[in-house]
Amino acid sequence: MSLTLLPHASRLVIGCLLDAEEVRDICDDRIVSDGSENQQGPWVRVTQFPGRIIQPGAHYWLEQTLFQVDCRGAGGNDRKIAHDLAETCRAVLAQRLRGSVSYTIGSSPVDGVVSMCEVGGIADTEDEAFQPARPMSRFDGVLTAHPEPTVGS
């Protein structure tokens, strides 16, 4: 008997953002799950947090996963760039990340069926990891997804 593997939620989010010309116009392909202080901007980091299996025990099929999208400008006083990037990412996810999706990130494919992608409001803040601190805008969301029935993951 084979295992059912659930889609990697943050990679679905990253794939959707990389697929959006509007996002790439602002930050090129700098959309990552792991960033560093040396990362050139503007850039986006997607962080996945624990979610929950819907109907645990009965079916290992549908998961709601929490995620956060952090958007940074190139440095200096670029609050507008960080906020505009966050709003563009939020709009893309809310309007396009649904249904059967398939992306290739680098050479690694990711696919799934997205039932819903809910996004929250944007918080404008500062990234204290940099000195002086850089403007950053962020929002969170919940992705509800399951495997492609024909693929199994």
Q: Is the peptide bond before 109 cis (omega within 30 degrees of 0)?
A: no
If you average pLDDT over every residue of the chain, what do you get? 90
Look at residue 153 in the predicted model and tell me its pLDDT: 43
Q: CB of 81 within 8 A of CB of 95?
A: no
Cα gap 37→39, rounded to integer Å: 6
Look at residue 57 in the predicted model and tell me its pLDDT: 66
Q: CB of 146 within 8 A of CB of 99?
A: no
Percentage of the chain modeled with pLDDT above 90: 67
For residue 76, pLDDT beyond 50: yes
Look at residue 146 in the predicted model and tell me its pLDDT: 94
| Domain 9-146 top-level CATH class | alpha beta
Model confidence band, residue 63 (pLDDT cutoffs 50, 70, 90): very high
Burial of 94 (0-12, 13-18, 19+ CB in 10 A): middle
- The number of CA neighbours under 13 Å toward the Cβ of 31 is 28
Look at residue 108 in the predicted model and tell me its pLDDT: 93
Model confidence band, residue 24 (pLDDT cutoffs 50, 70, 90): very high
Residue 136 neighbours by CB under 8 Å, 6+ apart: 70, 71, 72, 82, 124, 125, 126, 127
pTM of the entire structure? 0.91
* β pairing state of 123-127 and 134-146: antiparallel
Which tens digit of pLDDT belongs to each residue from 84-127? 999 999 999 999 999 999 999 989 999 999 999 999 999 999 87
Distances from the Cα of 141 to the Cα of 82, 85, 94, angstroms: 18, 16, 9
Question: What residue ranges do the domains of the chain occupy?
Answer: 9-146
